[in-house]
Amino acid sequence: MMRRFLKESKVDGFEFVLLPEWDSENAPLTPTSAPFECEKHTVDEVFEALQGHDFPILSVHANRDIGNYLCSLDETLKNKGVRLIDECINFTRKVGSRICVFHFWDAWKESLDLQYLKSVYDRFQAAYSDVEVSVENIPTKHLGGSPFHVMRCFRYKTLDLKWASMYNEFDAFANVLGEVDNVHIQGRLEAGQIVPTAGNLDVRHALTRIRVSGYSGLFAVELEGKPACGAVLAYLEKLKKLVSLKAQFVAF
């Protein structure tokens, strides 16, 4: 499928997701639609499987459970989260990418130790200056604020339009696009357009506003449901014409 997308569409590359469902060493903590019964591998084995294919990996999405580990009250689990950050960033460097996307908190925690999370973030960003440690605006139950407020202290940000739609925060992120290096276009494909499955954001309008701002980071398409491949390719073609030519366009 990756070969077909490169051949038949206008994508520049891919955001490669290190799914915990694949991980032979760390069982997933949070459920998704990914099949738990799939083959299990170490991150090194996944890297070896990619070798020789020349797939342009423009960003890497780290294990989504890292935030759950970092927010645990168990020091052993918190340390595991720190080790996984290091593992994912090193994978990012090995595949030649400059962006590693993180879920940096537990979405269900009502109280987040932001000082601790920032200290971990700053340590890794300083140690790996060649990689942009990009924090995604995933949902939060934190009583101290919304995703936008929680992630203000992080240097690099991934803006997921679905989550921005859920919290009605697109306008807030539009004012700090200089700190955004990756935009996730997440939603369902309906009548040839992406529609977020939470909130009421007009994705086409949002993308136009991002383009006009001069944004030159990544756009990653993250489709929900099971659209036909032909419909996906048609949307990618349409979307490529909408976004800035200065940006790179990737399939998720």
Half-sphere exposure of residue 157, counting CA atoms within 13 Å on the CB side? 25
106 vs 32: which has the higher pLDDT = 106
CA quadruple 67, 68, 73, 75: dihedral sign = negative
Half-sphere exposure of residue 246, counting CA atoms within 13 Å on the CB side? 9
Q: What is the dihedral of CA 144, 117, 168, 219, to 10 degrees?
A: 180
Q: Measured between alpha carbons, how far is 77 from 80 in angstroms, rounded to an integer?
A: 5
* 180-190 and 156-160 beta bridge pairing: parallel
The confidence score (pLDDT) of residue 170 equals 98
CB atoms within 10 A of CB 107: 17
Cβ neighbours for 5, distance < 8 A, ≥ 6 positions apart: 11, 14, 233, 236, 251
The separation between CA 113 and the C-alpha centre of its own chain, rounded to angstroms, equals 22
Q: Assess whether pLDDT exceeds 60 at residue 40.
A: yes
Q: Measured between alpha carbons, how far is 174 from 177 in angstroms, rounded to an integer?
A: 5
The confidence score (pLDDT) of residue 79 equals 97
The confidence score (pLDDT) of residue 252 equals 56
Q: Measured between alpha carbons, how far is 144 from 146 in angstroms, rounded to an integer?
A: 7
Determine contact, residues 188/224, Cβ cutoff 8 Å: yes
pLDDT digits (tens, 9 = 90+) for 149-197: 999 999 999 999 999 999 999 999 999 999 999 999 999 999 888 999 9
Instruction: Choose the weakest-confidence range: 69-78, 90-99, 100-109, 220-229.
Output: 220-229
pLDDT digits (tens, 9 = 90+) for 183-237: 999 999 998 889 999 999 999 999 999 988 989 899 999 889 888 888 888 888 8
Q: pTM of this prediction?
A: 0.93
Q: Assess whether pLDDT exceeds 60 at residue 62.
A: yes
The strand pairing partners of 13, in sequence order, are 250
Give the homologous superfamily in CATH for domain 2-251.
Divalent-metal-dependent TIM barrel enzymes (3.20.20.150)
Residue of 210, 207, 200 whose CA lies nearest to 180: 210
The confidence score (pLDDT) of residue 33 equals 79
Confidence of residue 15 (pLDDT cuts 50, 70, 90): very high
- Distance spanning both ends of the chain, measured CA to CA: 12
Confidence of residue 244 (pLDDT cuts 50, 70, 90): low
